[in-house]
Amino acid sequence: DAKTTQPPSMDCAEGRAANLPCNHSTISGNEYVYWYRQIHSQGPQYIIHGLKNNETNEMASLIITEDRKSSTLILPHATLRDTAVYYCIVRVGGSNYKLTFGKGTLLTVNP
Amino acid sequence: ETGVTQSPTHLIKTRGQQVTLRCSSQSGHNTVSWYQQALGQGPQFIFQYYREEENGRGNFPPRFSGLQFPNYSSELNVNALELDDSALYLCASSPQTVLNTEAFFGQGTRLTVV
């Protein structure tokens, strides 16, 4: 699986959009970009994933650049409960569900 | 709530002992993966079970072993515990037959080895 690079920490004001970047310059054509988050002392929670096109669900939006070498997770209206470590993971879609986690980005949402 | 339950939630063991951790997967999910998360680190893949067979293993020694049962629940066994085995152990389940879906994690078991 391709390696990802994320900033170690970011701050965001409550109610504002949080934009979390991820670089994955060695991504292969059959690798998907997944985002998970982990609130303190809980298990990771799936947020969103995509291959080429931008994706949106009830939690977030995922913007993938045209060359697929980077992506941005957008939380449109961050709340205090969104404070968590956010992991960007690149993996081949399919039968092997191994997830390779890095250290992620600690997002702190401030009142 | 993901439907994935792990037990116990916390455990303290002595170095050299053996431990068994349990995981009940979400209904309909036939694949279970185990992860170890040391303090301040991301989760690290231990192994995965699919239909009662090991289906992939990370860089962990043989004293880490597992089982999956016909109802798809799973156990993680660790023998000869070491101090460095102290970590949060996470179980994740997913439906193997559905491609490109997400994994659902339990809340984890916090193991402390003293």
Q: What are the tens digits of pLDDT across the range A48-61?
A: 999 998 999 999 99
Interface of B with A (CB under 8 A): 2, 4, 31, 33, 35, 40-45, 48, 50, 55-56, 58, 88, 90, 92, 94, 96, 99-100, 102-108
Q: Which residue has the tokens 């023998």?
A: B79
Helix (H/G/I), strand (E/B), else coil: B73: coil
- The predicted-structure confidence for B20-70, as pLDDT tens digits, reads as follows 999 999 888 888 999 999 998 999 999 999 889 998 899 999 999 999 999
pLDDT band at A1, cuts 50/70/90?
A: low
Query: How many Å apart are CA B103 and CA B109, to the nearest integer?
Result: 17
Whole-angstrom distance, CA of residue B64 vs CA of residue B46 = 8
Q: Name residue A101's amino acid.
A: F
Q: How far is B74 from chain A (nearest CA, A)?
A: 16
Closest Cα to residue A71, out of A2, A1, A4? A4
Task: Give per-residue pLDDT as tens, A8-35.
Answer: 999 999 999 999 999 999 998 888 999 9
| Residue A108 CB-density burial (10 A; 0-12 exposed, 13-18 middle, 19+ buried) | middle
In a mutational test of the B interface, the residue from A97, A101, A103, A105 whose CB has the highest number of chain B CBs within 10 Å is A97
Q: Could you tell me the CA-to-CA distances from B82 to A14, A23, B67 in Å, in that order?
A: 43, 36, 21
Residue owning tokens 């650049």: A65
**Share of residues in chain B with pLDDT > 90 (%):** 75
**pLDDT score at B80:** 98
- Judged by CB atoms closer than 8 Å, whether chains meet at A96 and B107 is answered as no
Count CB atoms within 10 A of the CB of residue A52: 12
Cα(B81)–Cα(B97) distance, integer angstroms: 35
Strands A61-64, A55-56: pairing is antiparallel
Output A3 or B10, whichever has higher pLDDT: B10
